[in-house]
Amino acid sequence: MKKHPRILITNDDGIEAESIWLIKRSLSELGHCEIVAPRYPRSASSHAVSLTGNIRLHPWERDGFGRGYGVDGTPADSIKFALSELFKQETFDLIVSGINLGPNTGVSVYYSGTIAAAREGVISGIPAFAVSVSAFEWQPDFAHAVGLTKQIAAQYLAGGLPPDYFLNVNGPGVSASAVRGIRLTRQAPSRFVEIFEKMDHPEGKTYRLSGEIRVLNGTGDTDQEALAENYVSVTPLSLDMTHYGHMDKTRDLLKALELTSLPDRPASQK
């Protein structure tokens, strides 16, 4: 492990979330930690960045935990701002995003600001991983998630994991004694079953979106299924979304498009 590693911590639950400060306290035993996170909760913001809005910085103190920084923006904004402005004269060895309240499994990885922050770290050339728990209120017994986060961070800092991917870690929202173990998983093929709840509002019809994930083809080795059985799910994710298995099929499509869809060309160009 590097002598004095620097760790950047963020989330999408906002600078006031208890879990981000618990992570700072734990990871401070491994290196120097900085918190830069959205000023307010920005769940489901995906990889959005604030191209048209202003970003303001809010220094934030929490008794017993030290200082952090809130950013008027998204989780991806927080990483970009930390690396390119706030700490532009310094380097980080690891980015940790979490611990998020609510699972980030299956199709959720496309919507999650927590996942996006880790992805932004890897895009910037810094090892990163994301951690979530399958609950929507922090409980003291979730200390097992903090401990696991520290263990994974130590592995990253020791150089034991490659820098060109990032881990998506999801813990079950149960007490430590009820966690059955850890599974290597894949992203569940899934979709959201959306529910639009109608609400009374003086300006007219108003709806609130909610729903749940439905696994489409469960095979027992997916992230969502592991959580359902009270296992921690660890899924390696990649920046490259190319579907290599369909390269030949797409090549055939392009040949067909060239034959049927292009305008007639002069004989000299055929």
Please tell me the predicted confidence (pLDDT) of residue 232. 97
Q: 88: buried, middle or exposed (CB in 10 Å: 19+, 13-18, 0-12)?
A: exposed
Residue 68: how many other CB atoms lie within 10 Å? 22
Instruction: Report the percent of the chain where pLDDT is more than 90.
Output: 71
Give per-residue pLDDT as tens, 45-61: 899 999 888 889 999 99
pLDDT class of 2 with cuts at 50, 70, 90: low
pLDDT at 138 over 70: yes
The better pLDDT of the pair 221, 269 is held by 221
The better pLDDT of the pair 257, 10 is held by 10
The better pLDDT of the pair 70, 2 is held by 70
- Torsions phi, psi for 101 (to 5 deg): -90, 120
Q: What is the mean pLDDT of the chain?
A: 90
Please tell me the predicted confidence (pLDDT) of residue 266. 62
Class level of CATH domain 6-188+217-245: alpha beta
In this prediction the pTM is 0.89
pLDDT at 22 over 70: yes
Please tell me the predicted confidence (pLDDT) of residue 29. 97
Distances (CA, A) of 242 to 100, 103, 238: 28, 25, 10
Q: What are the extents of the domains in the chain?
A: 6-188+217-245
Instruction: Please check whether residue 108 is in contact with residue 213, taking contact to mean a CB–CB distance below 8 angstroms.
Output: yes
Instruction: Please check whether residue 225 is in contact with residue 218, taking contact to mean a CB–CB distance below 8 angstroms.
Output: yes
The alpha helices in 129-222, defined as continuous H runs, are 143-157
Instruction: Please check whether residue 35 is in contact with residue 65, taking contact to mean a CB–CB distance below 8 angstroms.
Output: no
DSSP 8-state code for residue 178: G
- Token pair for 171: 């813990």
pLDDT at 150 over 80: yes
pLDDT at 77 over 80: yes
Distance (Å, whole) CA 99 – CA 12: 9
Distance (Å, whole) CA 85 – CA 91: 12
- Torsions phi, psi for 23 (to 5 deg): -65, -45
